[in-house]
Amino acid sequence: MFKNINENISLIEYLFKNNSETKEQKDLRELSYKTFGNIANMQVTPEQSSFLSFLIKIGNYKNILELGTFMGYSTLAMAIAVGDSGHVTSVDKDIKTTSIAANFWKSTPYANKISLINGDAKIVLQNLINEQKIFDFIFIDADKSSYKYYFETCLNLLADNGLIVFDNVLWKGKVFDQSINDSKTKAIREFNNYIKNDKRITTTMISIGDGMTLCKKKQTSRS
Ligand SMILES: C[S@@+](CC[C@H](N)C(=O)[O-])C[C@H]1O[C@@H](n2cnc3c(N)ncnc32)[C@H](O)[C@@H]1O
């Protein structure tokens, strides 16, 4: 019945050793912790960043949108994964963290693969829709209470067969503890319920890092 291994320090160290990071990725991850201490825990783990890269490579995704840049650790992983012809657009309202991120990217060969948009994600998404932009891979890691809104809006920005990945869907286990009912936990719980039977997508939820849900958009039928 229970096959999962409980997370412990040996498992985390083993995952670290077996998921390779480039020197730039390692330097940026360490810079985040040096600058922000435990707040840097909000960036994806190395195995999550390796997983995102893997998804991008096997799907041959080239046009990536990210909501929630922070220090640009996941952004950098995706910019490396998209290869020469790909591009990552990353959105965050925080000028302070993203200016450090942009500075760091400049010290790598990947700065020209990344466009940073500073602003509230809801407004930026509306602008991208108005500009008729289409992405084939969208990584959503901004404010959790807006996940349902981001899902609905991002479906309009996603190519057929494109993939949306949501981070933090397990919310440190709070979603399955019915005694916890703060607004963020409730929002993620509602979001998880909302998408699980959605006919427009094929979806799966996995326990990696703080939990990720993958949604593949089905081909739109054209008559
Ligand atoms: C979990 S962090 C992103 C971590 C990053 N994806 C990584 O793994 O390296 C979430 C980020 O979302 C940003 N954010 C939160 N609400 C937002 C909003 N409404 N619009 C834009 N950015 C937002 C925060 O400023 C924060 O930097």
Q: Which atom of ligand 1 is nearest to the CA of 70?
A: 27
d(CA 169, CA 212): 6
Contact of 213 with 171, CB cutoff 8 Å: no
Q: Which ligand 1 atom is the nearest neighbour of the CA of 168?
A: 1
Tell how far the Cα of 222 is from the centroid of ligand 1, in angstroms: 36
DSSP assignment string, 133-163: --EEEEEE-S-GGGHHHHHHHHHTTEEEEEE
What's the 77 CA to ligand 1 centre distance in angstroms? 16
Give yes or no for residue 169 having a pLDDT over 90.
yes
Q: What are phi and psi of 50, to 5 degrees?
A: -65, -40
Query: Atom 1 in ligand 1: which residue has the minimum CA distance?
Result: 42
Asked which of 11-25, 38-52, 152-166 is least confident by mean pLDDT, the reply is: 11-25
- Sign of the Cα pseudo-torsion (219, 220, 221, 223, in order): negative
pLDDT digits (tens, 9 = 90+) for 140-153: 999 999 999 999 99
Please tell me the distance from the alpha carbon of residue 150 to that of residue 85, in angstroms, as a whole number.
Answer: 26
Say how far apart CA 43 and CA 184 lie, in whole Å: 18
- What CATH architecture does domain 9-217 belong to? 3-Layer(aba) Sandwich (3.40)
CA-nearest residue, atom 26 of ligand 1: 70
* Averaged pLDDT, 37-44: 96
**In the chain, % of residues over pLDDT 70:** 97
Average pLDDT over residues 30-53: 96
Query: Region 196-220: what's the mean pLDDT?
Result: 94
